[in-house]
Structure 1
Amino acid sequence: MEKLSLLNRLLVLTASCLMVAAYFTPLWQISLWAPQYPEGLNMKIWIDRLSGDVTIINGVNHYIGMKHIGDEMFPEFQYIIYIIGSIIVFGFLTALIAKRWALYTFFGMVGLLGIGVLVDMYLWGYDYGHNLDPTAAIKVPGMSYQPPLIGYKELLNFLAYSGPDTGGWILGGAATLVVLAIIIDFRNKSKLKNTLP
């Protein structure tokens, strides 16, 4: 049975439609709280830009020697719109042609996107938190300021949080639907094999 079931086609189609939200909602957020900023500072990462309290965060981080944060710091902004767009188009094609190989290819593309984004975020955070200006006004020997990849972390007198924003959660939901489609397809394939003489 090389054709996908109607349910799986609908799951893939829904997942592809959900992924369009990546172009209109922030994907990731980094927030900071400190006694002098009890309301918190928030930076949102979109598919092609940054928004939020970026200027204030840059002013605070300047004193400990961290790099200036700007759109130019993320060359990924130049091409990730095309990567996600290609995955969305392939998802629509998968729902249209309804072939098993297309479903598994779509699953692989979504999985690689997720892994790639997390690895990229980690590497950016490592560079940002470790490569400090040696002439900075405030220097703490042995201290690095790498933000958490996901979750909370104390950095001097700041509490930092990093995690998915609206678009990130929607993409996570889309990926969950694709995983569900894989599970259903695998079970359908197993049932068919058991019914054959």
Structure 2
Amino acid sequence: MKSKNLSLGSSLLITLSAVLMGISVLFPWWKMVFYAPQYPEGLNIIVYPNKLEGQLDIINGLNHYIGMANFGESNFSELSYLKYIVVGLVFITLLTAIIRKKAVLYGLIGLITLGGLLGIYDLHRALHDYGTHLDPHAPIKIAPFVPPILGQNRVANFTTHSLLGTGAYFLIAAFILLLIPLWKDRKK
């Protein structure tokens, strides 16, 4: 007979997952690195859950020539509340570890999966908007484009690499830790 309760070991894994989620906000979740002959060391846009860093002024100055809107924290309302969503998920994850019910864990996994998919959609939408809503009066005319969420893209003489940041790896590890109890406690 299958138990509806999670073991103490599973509860500890869920607690560790909450810790990794919390730590993730201290690190970048995503970044883009732009390379060109005049910038062999690369220019960065580094995205934390609550701020943007990198050489934004230089990138915005260059993007002006192709008619792309400026990157800035004011353009991404998500940065004002995303950290609080993570804190809420940490709290819910800790409650799940205390309650130790499989049904609650399934709900948490569903919630995090939905949030992750919404986050990916939101990032894709932003990249689409930046790459396709170019000013037609810009000095340099290029075809609209959509930078990839992960991978490489080439626009004019710039090669762009989109990468996960350290914080994203903490989130992935946290999610995997939530899945392990489902396998570990599948039979009692």
Q: CA deviation at 1:7?
A: 2.0
Name the counterpart of 1:29.
31
CA positional deviation for 1:88 = 0.7
Residue 51 (structure 1) shift: 0.5
Aligned to 1:144: 144
SS of the aligned residue for 1:163 comes to strand
Matches within 5 A, 1:122-141: 122-140=124-142
Quote how far apart the aligned CAs of 1:70 are: 0.6
Contact 1:42–1:52 (CA<8 Å) still a contact in 2?
A: yes
1:49 is aligned to 51
| TM-score, normalised with respect to structure 1 | 0.90
Q: Does the Cα contact within 8 Å between 2:6 and 2:181 map onto a contact in 1?
A: no
Give the residue type in structure 1 aligned to 2:173: G
Q: Any stretches of 5+ residues in structure 1 without a counterpart?
A: 193-197
Per the normalisation by structure 2, the TM-score is 0.94
Deviations 1:103-162 (A, max 9, x none): 11111122112111111110000000000111100013xx12321111111122111111
Please list every run of at least 4 consecutive aligned residues from structure 1 whose deviation after the TM superposition is greater than 4 angstroms.
Answer: none
Tell me the distance in 2 between the aligned counterparts of 1:102 and 1:31: 40
**CA gap 1:27/1:86 in 2 versus in 1, 3 angstroms:** same
Larger gyration radius, structure 1 or structure 2: 1
In the TM superposition, 1:58-97 aligns within 5 A as: 58-97=60-99
Q: How many percent of aligned residue pairs carry the same amino acid? A: 37
Q: Does 1:172 align with 2:172?
A: yes
Partner deviation per Cα, 1:149-190 (whole Å, 9 max, x = no partner):
1111112211111121011111111111112222323x32xx
Other structure's SS at 1:68 match? coil
In structure 2, give the amino acid aligned to 1:56. Answer: I
